[in-house]
Structure 1
Amino acid sequence: MTPSRFETGRPMLLAGLRRWYAFSEGPTQIPLDWKAFVTRLPLPRQVGGRTYGATCQADMEGQRFEYMCAAEVETFDGLPDDLGRMTVPEAHYAVFVHAAPIWTIRDTITAGFAWLASNGEWKDAGTPNFERYGPGFDAKTGMGDTELWFPVTRP
């Protein structure tokens, strides 16, 4: 799989549920957190209708990662204390379209990381990568308007 396009993403402030997951529990726990998160939308001072699944950091030795079910906000001011916050810097991204049911997103994530490791032209930029769910995403069917954004830079 190769990226569908490259795009420069603007800086964003993301707010949402931010938690650590064992690699083995992510596929079962993250959907539960999404169900809880969408009941809180829209967030105070939310920007647009997109939501984001951002990978904040990974602990490969501990076999766990930090993930955030999020929405973009104008400011962190006025957010409930229990919501996590993340500043995403401007970055250049390799964008992959996920055109299958959401429960298979791990396949596209794995393919994106495999491309990143083997493409020879781009490397990981070290900033958060994220899933971007647009207005065409249907949570009931798990289909539509889903992209994976991997931050890249040239070596």
Structure 2
Amino acid sequence: MEARIETLNEKKLIGKRIEMSFIENKTFQLWNNFMPKRKEIKNTINENLYSLEVFSPAHFDNFDPGRTFQKWAAVEVKNYEDVPLNMETLIIPDGLYAVFVHYGPASEGHKTYHAIFAEWLPNSEYLVDDRPHFAVMGHKYKNDDPKSEEEIWIPIKNRN
């Protein structure tokens, strides 16, 4: 598994969020609610969609798949001058990220995440940092198509 290490500049997002856990996955419900309304967001930077997870600082210590976190469906914007009704803002702060490409259907994304957390991360010089995790679904993203591609961004910091 190859990672591209990038320093991310702050991103401003507008979208919708939901509380969920890995056991009680509400991703489909979130995106079904967001997609019909995304065109109401007028000052987008591009067509990319962002699927984000905001975890509590100790979320992965003594991992519990029933522990809740925030799941976001969002787009990147230039500013927060025109936030549509029933949408919220989120800032992804500057920081270091390991970027991976998931090739294949979105339904098989768990295999890529497993490789990142069970193989790549323990053998790297990095630890997971306390910032949002996200996937960028750009023009190569085709949901459950075998030719689909999306980028997975994992916040990292040096072990030392």
* TM-score scaled by length of structure 2: 0.83
CA distance in 1, matches of 2:107, 2:34: 17
Could you give the per-residue CA deviations for residues 37-81 of structure 1, whole angstroms, max 9, x where no partner exists? Answer: 122223221110111111112455652221101100111221124
The answer to whether the 8 A contact 2:30-2:72 is kept is no
Question: Could you say which residue in structure 2 is the equivalent of 1:44?
Answer: 42
**Which letter maps to 1:31?**
F
The question of 1:33 aligning with 2:35 is answered no
| Alpha carbons of structure 1 residues 15 and 143: separation in structure 2 relative to 1, 3 Å | farther
4+ aligned runs moved over 4 Å, structure 1: 58-62
**Which letter maps to 1:7?**
E
Q: CA RMSD in A?
A: 2.1
Quick one: which of 101, 106, 116 aligns to 2:105?
101
Structure 1 gaps of 5+ residues are none
Shift of 1:142: 7.1
The question of 1:128 aligning with 2:132 is answered yes
CA distance in 1, matches of 2:79, 2:90: 11
* TM-score scaled by length of structure 1: 0.85
Task: Say which structure is richer in strand.
Answer: 1
CA distance in 2, matches of 1:76, 1:110: 35
Question: Could you say which residue in structure 2 is the equivalent of 1:13?
Answer: 12
| Alpha carbons of structure 1 residues 25 and 114: separation in structure 2 relative to 1, 3 Å | same
Question: Could you say which residue in structure 1 is the equivalent of 2:67?
Answer: 63
